Amino acid sequence: MLAVWVDQLLGFASGALAAIRQQEHYPDFMTWVRAEGAGFFNDDLATAQALAPILWSQTPLERLDFACEPLATPGRNEPCWCDSGRKFKQCCSQVEFPTEIPEQMMWMLSLREWKGATLKAALNSQRALPQALLEAGLIAAESGQSGRAMQILESLFDGSDWSRLPEQAEPAFEILLDIYQERGFTRKRADLLDDVLERGPIFLRGVALERLCLMHLDNDDLDSARGAFVKAQQALPDSPTLAYIEAMLLLHEGHEREAKERANFWYRRLVRQGDLDDEQLDFLAALADNPGATLADQLLSAEEDLATPLISLQALLAALPVAPKIAINTEADTGHLQYHTSAREQTLFAAWHEQFKVLVDEDIALGFRDDPWGNAVEWMSALCAHPEWLDAPQVVQDLTMALTSRFGSLPWMAPSLLAPLANRLSRWLAQARAEGEGSLRWDDADNAMLLRTGLALVVGMERGARQHSRELAEELLAIDQEDSLGLRELVLDQLLRDDRNEEALALSEQPVDDGSQILGLLMGRTLALYRLADHEAAERSLSEVIAHNRHALEMICAENPRPVMPYADGQVDPGSRAEAWQYRTLMRDQWRTTQGALDWLDAHRPKSR
């Protein structure tokens, strides 16, 4: 019964709104009600007439700059406000409605109708009820009108008065953040998160902190992610989302055993509290059992269309036979190693490329000229039907780069997707190594295909298969003596993460070919020396750091420095603040967790003038 009433009410309210908008004139509106109103309520004119003044009173009027024109409720013996001519007590005051009439209904319906300049002006008037903004925003998002949803929800979360936010605003807040993310509005997203964290209501702060953690993880900034997690834990000690975030964080940091232990801890703690539903409990139990596999499953189920082809691809890669040899030889004059694509490999690549369609962008380190993920279902399925395509290094290159770009930041995907491809590349590198002592230079022959694949694999496995990533990087460094891929810094970072300080020191002391200085290598050497308690050498190394980049120490010591972004093409200048920021995001956690190291750096900061 109630559902019928709600439908009738909404139908009548929509009709009423259209009628009001004709002239925004009450008597004209009532003329429409007497002519059409009964039709909405099974010929019950009394209900329509009684509702009309209430709806009128809450309708924003364009001619009043979106203010309403509320009617005063008549006294019992006064003429009724529906203009029937009878006394109020004998007319509308006798009609009872099955539910209360929501006060935001006409605003909400108006927000659904308005477009362009009118919508903008209505939102700018700041007269909309928060509940109306919330409902209209959610409806727009559900119906796929993300631009409209963004415009309306921005008005709700504009920060002018957080206290007026309805309690149920949380999903709307998440939707707005999602829209920012989809549209690439990273600045707006960061500003909104900051604003909520500083001044927003408690029930949104927790969500904001969780989001912030995930954002830092996406940017590979582990230290900031950890910081946000600690704050989230204080704001929301009993949220099951924390369990999930901590597992992700620990896996990113490479602490698999600890991830399992902590997931277990959360499971026991939250079970005891008893307010989780079955689905949440099952998820936590699975997380405690095997965090990596659970997060991988969760990702697969979130991918919807991609899930089936991705699972087939995992199966294909797991059963991949040993790669056939490729054509590598030593050039007689120079002694350098050269890989040349064979005719068969070209044919295989051509067949693959018909499906994959996107070409590698030769001008940037790891990127395509277009997004390969739009038609991923097609190329993944085709590849599963033609595993022989992977005999061609160029196909391995495309696949590796595509997988790294999408899953490289998710540690739990690396073992199943990237490790088998790394084994394939390792075999080819071993074959090259057996061919001669020369260097496999980037610019020679088709060498770049192999080296680019190597870089994508090292980067993609850095978090989820750290040891494998480092081993492959060392294989590449041994054969690419110019370090054209810049792998030395990366291997150094990994050694320091594993507390293999002597190996790290040895690596950092190999001379760089062109004599240039790299902040990461200088800092890495300094950290290794500090950990090995060679304080004199550490001090000397630190002076070199300061001479190279005078912002570095300040940037690492500060708790919350302002991010400094690289140029649009990802380049940073040696000695710049951007270089210092980049180093901080990659390695600050290692300095922080080394006893006394941050204080030691702080004491050596160059005095600002």
**Which chain residues interact with Zn ion by CB under 5 A?**
80, 82, 84, 91-92
Return the number of the residue (50 or 235) whose C-beta is nearest Zn ion. 50
Return the number of the residue (84 or 426) whose C-beta is nearest Zn ion. 84
State the nearest-atom distance from the C-beta of 91 to Zn ion, in Å: 3
**Strand-pair partners of 329:** 338
User: Phi and psi (nearest 5°) for 79?
Assistant: -60, 140
State the nearest-atom distance from the C-beta of 117 to Zn ion, in Å: 37
Residue 363's SS3 state is: coil
AA letter at 507? L
Return the number of the residue (49 or 541) whose C-beta is nearest Zn ion. 49
Return the number of the residue (54 or 140) whose C-beta is nearest Zn ion. 54
CA distance 41 to 48: 7
Helix/strand/coil (H/E/C) assignment for every residue in 95-148: CCCCCCCCCCHHHHHHHHHCCHHHHHHHHHCCCCCHHHHHHHHHHHHHCCCHHH
State the nearest-atom distance from the C-beta of 26 to Zn ion, in Å: 13
List Cβ neighbours of 306 (8 Å cut-off, separation of 6 or more): 300, 376, 377, 380
Return the number of the residue (47 or 549) whose C-beta is nearest Zn ion. 47
State the nearest-atom distance from the C-beta of 54 to Zn ion, in Å: 11
State the nearest-atom distance from the C-beta of 210 to Zn ion, in Å: 52
Tokens of 317: 């890669």
State the nearest-atom distance from the C-beta of 166 to Zn ion, in Å: 32
Return the number of the residue (92 or 414) whose C-beta is nearest Zn ion. 92
State the nearest-atom distance from the C-beta of 85 to Zn ion, in Å: 9
Return the number of the residue (91 or 111) whose C-beta is nearest Zn ion. 91
User: Phi and psi (nearest 5°) for 339?
Assistant: -110, 130
Q: Considering Cα of 441, then 447, then 449, then 451, what sign does the dihedral take?
A: negative
Tokens of 207: 């969500």
Angle at 504 between CA 503 and CA 507, to 5 degrees: 85
List Cβ neighbours of 402 (8 Å cut-off, separation of 6 or more): 356, 368, 372, 373, 376
User: Contact, 198 vs 191, CB < 8 A?
Assistant: no
Return the number of the residue (54 or 82) whose C-beta is nearest Zn ion. 82
Q: Which of 187, 233, 235, 232 lies closest to 211, judged by CA?
A: 232
Q: How many residues does the chain have?
A: 609
State the nearest-atom distance from the C-beta of 56 to Zn ion, in Å: 13
CA distance 389 to 584: 41
Return the number of the residue (80 or 601) whose C-beta is nearest Zn ion. 80
State the nearest-atom distance from the C-beta of 190 to Zn ion, in Å: 54
